[in-house]
Chains A and B, each alone.
Chain A
Amino acid sequence: MAKKLKRMSIPIFLILLLGSIAMIFPFVWMILSAFKTVPDVYAYPPKWLPSSWKFNNYVKVFQMIPFAKYYFNSIFTSTVQTAIQLFLSVTAAYALVVLDFPGKKFLLSLIRSTMFVPIVVTLIPLYLLVSKAKMIDTYAGIILPQVFAAFTIFLLVSFFSTIPQILYDSAKLDGCGYYRILSEVVIPNSKSPISTAMLFSFLGHWKSYTWPLIVTNKATYRTLPIGMKYLVQESSSEYQIMMAASVMAILPVLIVYLFFEKQLVKSITLTGLKA
């Protein structure tokens, strides 16, 4: 039996190995390209290793943009946005699952419908609001308009609905109010989906380009994606500099991922969602 299992696991192992290589390939390519020259980046057949290692690509990144400032701004805005978004999503999802109130279905549809409105449609009205509120060139201007996300609300609604009613009822019998049910029953039982929502949220904010660009003019408030865009010209050929910046930019996302890896894997098995 053990031998049979071993024999069966070899092809599975090989398939998984191939899958892993396919997943890792873009990262390896990015890291190696960050040290290449322009001809090396475009060489055909592709060159794996740089013909000469150009550490200067990293230096150029720091020369062309205030990388450290942009990096801090990205980490700060993404973290605050994620925290607020999670708070709003958890409480909203909890209310939508636990409470019965008139117009609940309508409210759900309304929240859902916001997922189908492209950013370009809301961009200018949102900008006008932010401008009226004197929030142009402020962290608040970047953060606040982006903290409401229907996707994370629905992700959590779908999970909170699967928590057995008996748990809610028992908590009520024990004298728990809505706040304690949320903090002592719902959240402890939803670590995995909340981690997934957090990762989705952080990734979305980390990559966010258009809104921070529109709402900021001063380098003091600008984020990394704007700096990255500045590194390349219209249809530019200097990808090696952008790759060097990307290598540095990817670190916080990797850290967040590694920190929540366990919860995330659990969540994938529960919800079937992958980040």
Chain B
Amino acid sequence: MKKATVFVLMLALSMSLVFAQGSKEKAVRPEVVKLQVWYAISGASGEQFLALAKAFDAARSDIELELTYSGSYADTATKVSAAMLSGDAPDTAIMAAGQLYTGGRGDYSMEALVKDPSFNVNDIFKGMLEYGMFEGRIAAVPYGISSQVLYYNKNITDKAGLDLEKNPPATWAEFYQIAKTAMEKGNVNNSADFYGFDTSDGVWLFKSMLGQNGNEVVRKVNGRVQPVYQETSGVEVGKFWKSLIDANLMPAGQHNNAEKKFLAGNLAFIAASSNRVARWQGNTNFKLGAIMMPGFKNRSIALGGNVGVILTEDTFKRDASWELLKYLLEEKNHTSFALSTGYLPVRKSAQNGEVVKEALAANPLYKIAFDQLDNAWAYYHFSEMGTMDSFFWYALDEIEKNVSTVEVALQKAADSLVKEIE
């Protein structure tokens, strides 16, 4: 018995020495912290991000970045999911819905990091900060954020006798009449495939509309997320959506082609991401215009885009990742990224900066996206929100193609979400 006790004590002592040694080793920060950074930003936006990340890499002798393009948002989600299961996850990532990974595992270390005085979290737009939240807590920081803007073909509206600069629609009911007039009188191409309005992302617009009609999309009741979009305020939005189809103002189930149609001059209005300002301005065969999104009871705009998320649990790598994110979100750096890509500045101070003022003077369309920032809104983020989007997609498709009534389609989407959550 005595021998056994001595053995156990010795074992405990040697284990504690081993652990103490381990923790001592752990406490020593490597001279250079190597960070694996994955980013889901491509094309011209990807180039802008890379330039900033490389500048950070060059400026910091203590941090080395290994930058990897991780594909589209969906590809990145698959890549990160697989890598997390095998322990090959990157240290940090710029991706859509990154907070689902950290928040999902109860990692809210970002909450402490954003309190860094040199970060000035109060300078971040409230709606944008909420966009990086998971179940109401900060689990990521906003990066490439955009909102939908209502773009229009000025050649079409001019032909239809509409002056949107003077009389922009404030409500969707007003917009309905304007789109109808544009459709009836503005077919500049004499195209048989001409429509008044469409959106390249129906689910995104529908969620904005829900917010505008006072619907929260989902609500947390007794600690459980519940869909509310099937309630009366949601059905009203669905019925307006259906009225656009019934009046032939919006084609049924053709959202994937909406941008091509708009750029070809066969669509008067399109609700599309604010980042199209940078891509379309000067690249269209017609005069491009933009107005603020109309609303129902208010003019809420659901945000979209990507966030910066720290996936590593290693202290040194986490701190280095934070240094990178902080650098990317510095007013000067993020504003230059935003202005050259069309994403929105996340910092309030950017709006008053000289760079932004100059950009607004050079490209007044930016102003629309900036003006909408005060209406920026992020609904409650939870684990199944990606799945919810696919249920929305099915519901809208059924509504547009007359497969189900608005009530039935939304109820079905709500039931599916409840089942998924359970």
Q: Which residues of A contact B (CB under 8 A)?
A: 37-39, 42-45, 64, 120, 123-124, 127-128, 131-132, 136, 210, 213-214, 217-218, 226, 229-238
Q: Which residue of B lies closest to A216 (CB)?
A: B68
Beyond A42-B285, A237-B263, A238-B44, is A226–B189 a contact (Cβ under 8 Å)?
Answer: no
Contact B68 A218 (CB under 8 A): yes
**Chain B: minimal CB distance from A67 (Å):** 14
For the residues of B in contact with A, the DSSP-based class is mixed
Contact B43 A42 (CB under 8 A): no
Chain A contacts of B68 at CB under 8 A? Answer: 217-218
A sample of 5 cross-chain residue pairs with beta-carbon separation below 8 angstroms, ordered by A number, consists of: A44-B266, A45-B189, A128-B82, A230-B46, A238-B44
Contact A124 B79 (CB under 8 A): no
Chain B contacts of A136 at CB under 8 A? Answer: 88
Beyond A213-B79, A214-B82, is A232–B42 a contact (Cβ under 8 Å)?
Answer: yes
Contact B81 A124 (CB under 8 A): yes
Query: B284 touches which one: A39, A120, A210, A213 (CB < 8 A)?
Result: A39
- How many interface residues does B have (CB within 8 Å)? 45
Beyond A44-B189, A44-B265, A226-B71, is A238–B82 a contact (Cβ under 8 Å)?
Answer: no
CA distance A43 to B46 in the complex (A): 27
Judged by a CB distance under 8 angstroms, whether B60 is at the interface is no
Additional A-B contacts beyond A44-B265, A237-B283 (13; CB < 8 A): A38-B284, A44-B266, A64-B47, A124-B78, A124-B81, A217-B68, A230-B43, A232-B43, A233-B46, A236-B43, A237-B259, A237-B263, A237-B279
**Chain B: minimal CB distance from A209 (Å):** 8
**Chain A: minimal CB distance from B193 (Å):** 9
Chain B contacts of A123 at CB under 8 A? Answer: 78, 82
Q: Which residue of B lies closest to A37 (CB)?
A: B283
Contact B82 A235 (CB under 8 A): no
Chain A contacts of B83 at CB under 8 A? Answer: 127
Judged by a CB distance under 8 angstroms, whether B362 is at the interface is no
Beyond A123-B78, A217-B36, A217-B66, is A236–B279 a contact (Cβ under 8 Å)?
Answer: yes
Chain B contacts of A43 at CB under 8 A? Answer: 264, 285
Chain A contacts of B285 at CB under 8 A? Answer: 39, 42-44
**Chain A: minimal CB distance from B152 (Å):** 16
CA distance A136 to B283 in the complex (A): 41
Query: B191 touches which one: A44, A214, A236 (CB < 8 A)?
Result: A44
